[in-house]
Amino acid sequence: MFGVPVNAHAEEVQDLAAPGDESTIKWFVGQDGIDRIAAGMVCGSCLEPFPAPPDIKNTKVWRDHAHHYAGLRTKDELLSLVVKNRCPICKTEVSNEMFAATHRGADPFEPKKIEVPDE
């Protein structure tokens, strides 16, 4: 599935919470895209598809695909970002924790579920 873009579209929406006439871009992503973002196969910020989730365990896969990012990052830069769970394009963190913190699910009006760990 690497290299296959996420089915998404963007719309400009008015930001009613901000002072003045400010607008933002809101991405609408299909369920397949949401599943791929949750699995770490796509960046949740720039929607870049990955050959494997950015993780130290997947450096072999990323090393084999480093030529795809040759114009943007050297192999060392790419692997440095991957071992830190970062997107090689926008440097955003790509992890289950980040997905849970920033994504509210398919329904944009559903409140986030906050889980408090037992101490």
Q: Say if 59 falls within a structural domain.
A: yes
Looking at residue 85, its pLDDT comes to 93
Instruction: Decide if 81 contacts 88 (C-beta within 8 A).
Output: yes
Q: Say if 114 falls within a structural domain.
A: no
DSSP letter assigned to residue 19: S
CA-wise closest residue to 47 among 65, 34, 61: 34
109's CB contacts (< 8 A; 6+ apart) are: none
Per-residue pLDDT, averaged over 16-21, amounts to 71
Q: Which domain holds residue 69?
A: 8-102
Sign of the alpha-carbon dihedral angle for 27, 33, 37, 43: negative
CA-wise closest residue to 39 among 103, 91, 84, 88: 103
User: Beta strands 23-29 and 8-14: pairing type?
Assistant: antiparallel
**Per-residue confidence at 3, pLDDT binned at 50, 70, 90?**
confident
Which contacts (CB < 8 Å, 24+ apart) does range 58-67 have?
58/82, 59/83, 65/2
Q: 51-95 pLDDT, tens per residue?
A: 999 999 999 999 999 998 888 899 999 999 999 999 999 999 898
Q: Say if 108 falls within a structural domain.
A: no
Q: Say if 115 falls within a structural domain.
A: no
Q: Say if 77 falls within a structural domain.
A: yes
Q: Say if 3 falls within a structural domain.
A: no
Q: Is this model's pTM higher than 0.85 or not?
A: no
Looking at residue 62, its pLDDT comes to 93
Q: Say if 56 falls within a structural domain.
A: yes
Q: Say if 1 falls within a structural domain.
A: no
How many structural domains does the chain have?
1
